[in-house]
Structure 1
Amino acid sequence: MFINQQTIRNSISFSGIGLHTGKSVEIKILPEKVNSGINFIFKKEKIKASWKNAQISQLCTKIKKKNTYISTIEHLMSALSAIGVTNVSIQTTSEEIPILDGSAKDFVEKILDTGLVNQKIQQKIIQIKKKVNYKTIDKYIEISPNKKKLTIDYSIDYKDDFIKKQSLYYEHDLDNFKKIYLARTFCLHKDLEKIFAMGLAKGGTLDNAIVVSGNKILNQGGLRYKDEFVKHKILDCIGDLYLAEYQIYGNVITKGGGHELNLMLLKEVFKDENNYEII
């Protein structure tokens, strides 16, 4: 699937609101030369989209350099991974990327509409050589070798009256990503008080997140997929794994995972050079 490095043909702009800050934000995605990677720019500080700069965060993916941080990058990173974009810079007017409708749809469609530039130099791929895992008391994630692609086998169990148990096996390419990219971020209504107390979700509305209350959702339009919740978890996972700086080939299995587990898996992989090779 991923052969040469790619950038976008023209700059692209998005505007919206930050899910957690509630601030209005505009971003501009700009083409970059080969081997630039993906970099975010805020207040003149350039932060590479890398696990090395990532901060542990449960409700979003955050990167930081010195005293500057940029959060909620996962949906944009997921779109860039699926399309195979390797070299761009993202200028932002605020510390959080706009949530848009809570999915990766708008990012994907606008990037594809503007077009791509094949940069005629091969992408590097991270190939997993041995099984690596990370677990907590109730959550688990692992990655094992696959020489041709990234697969994700994701299971969730919310033990509630609506989401309950959902599982999905996914093979990463653009065609398959288009089958999940409409999936929106979500939360349980009973958790909102705790989330608000943390100073988060100030920009959250029923237009950019699914809210589950008891045995129903509060959103008027209903679900976009019957298994929208696990599909969104996979979408997040793809974006988080792209913080490896290159595409990863391996088989991921995770139960009850999330942003923290995804990042911890990357840290475990890169802890030992025997776990992987860059090809």
Structure 2
Amino acid sequence: MLYQQTIAAPFELSGIGLHSGEQVDVKVSPAPVNSGRYFVYGDEKIPANTQVAAGSPLSTELRQNGKAVRTVEHLLSALFGMGVHNACIELSSAELPILDGSALPWVEAIAKVGIETQLDGDRLLPLAEVVTVRKGDSFVTAIPADTLRFTYGIDFPTKAIGEQWFSWSPAVMDFSTRFASEIAPARTFTLAAYIEQARAAGLIKGGSLENAIVCDGDRWMNPPLRFDNEPCRHKLLDLIGDLSLLGFLPKAHILAYKASHNLHAEFALAIAKQQLLAI
């Protein structure tokens, strides 16, 4: 049996959607055992699981019955990183706010209201065999291991970013503390050369130097960075949010290279299928 926790009291945050540019109010409330994390938008209740997940350009979407909520990865990463398994998330608009581009504002709000343990149990599930998804030279793989470990690599054609690798192996009991200080503060990033193309595609309407770090060739337009390898850490933040759609973390060494939200979602679904076959 897996352990479960919820937040001890509700909290609210508001901001602008990164892609829509629309104002959105979010209320996160405690939820009962086995309810999972779920979004309430209009009259639709959308669970945060692999069955409704879909990677979309530059974000993760959850779609059900013709309705979708978008850019869920930072809040889901914060909830999972802080050990919150059950939560009700009410939205006034379909896209979550980008806030400062990281998961830190969510983590701080969760820490302020506190955590309530609902069930004790195992914190990781064993992985029966290697699971890998890939597209071209991009991949995500999980190798069964005795402890949890993440390794993420990125490679961008700019001197300021270039190739970066980050390996993170938190002890299970220290996961939340280390997530809050080592992963959550890492902000989303982009290249200045990509901005015009993304906006032409109807994306990043709410993007600014206040909610993303922007690289222009060999320099950052809005330094300083919070970490030397902040872009790579942010990709791990996204991966944890996307993997949280499983409802658990596998006992494995998880390696990713140049992966997208689409590939993260495909990877989570592959692990979910293996888990079902193992039951």
Do the structures match in fold with TM over 0.5?
yes
Q: Does residue 38 of the first structure (1) align with residue 37 of the second (2)? A: yes
Structure 1 partner of 2:154: 156
Structure 1 partner of 2:52: 53
Amino acid paired to 1:17: I
Q: Distance in 2 between matches of 1:33 and 1:50?
A: 17
RMSD of aligned alpha carbons = 1.8
Q: How many residues align?
A: 274
Amino acid paired to 1:53: V
SS in 2 for 1:194: helix
Alpha carbons of structure 1 residues 139 and 116: separation in structure 2 relative to 1, 3 Å: same
Structure 1 partner of 2:184: 181
SS in 1 for 2:166: strand
Q: Distance in 2 between matches of 1:133 and 1:3?
A: 24
Kindly state the Cα deviation for residue 112 of structure 1 after the two structures are TM-superposed: 0.9
Q: What is the correspondence of 1:101-120 to structure 2 with a 5 Å cutoff? A: 101-120=100-119
Q: Select between 250-259 and 2-11 the one with higher mean Cα deviation.
A: 2-11
Q: What is the correspondence of 1:58-207 to structure 2 with a 5 Å cutoff? A: 58-122=57-121, 125-149=124-148, 151-172=149-170, 173-177=175-179, 178-207=181-210
Q: Does residue 241 of the first structure (1) align with residue 239 of the second (2)? A: no
Q: Distance in 1 between matches of 2:114 and 2:55?
A: 34
List structure 1 runs of 4+ shifted beyond 6 angstroms. Answer: none
Q: Distance in 1 between matches of 2:165 and 2:129?
A: 24
Deviations 1:76-95 (A, max 9, x none): 11111111111111000000
- Give the % identical residues: 35
Unmatched runs of 5 consecutive residues or more in structure 2:
none
Kindly state the Cα deviation for residue 270 of structure 1 after the two structures are TM-superposed: 2.8
Q: Distance in 2 between matches of 1:275 and 1:128?
A: 11
Unmatched runs of 5 consecutive residues or more in structure 1:
none
Q: Select between 88-97 and 178-187 the one with higher mean Cα deviation.
A: 178-187
Q: Is the 8 A contact 1:18 1:25 kept in 2?
A: yes
Q: Distance in 2 between matches of 1:62 and 1:251?
A: 26
Q: Distance in 1 between matches of 2:92 and 2:104?
A: 22
Q: Distance in 1 between matches of 2:22 and 2:211?
A: 14
Amino acid paired to 2:140: I
Q: Distance in 2 between matches of 1:85 and 1:147?
A: 23
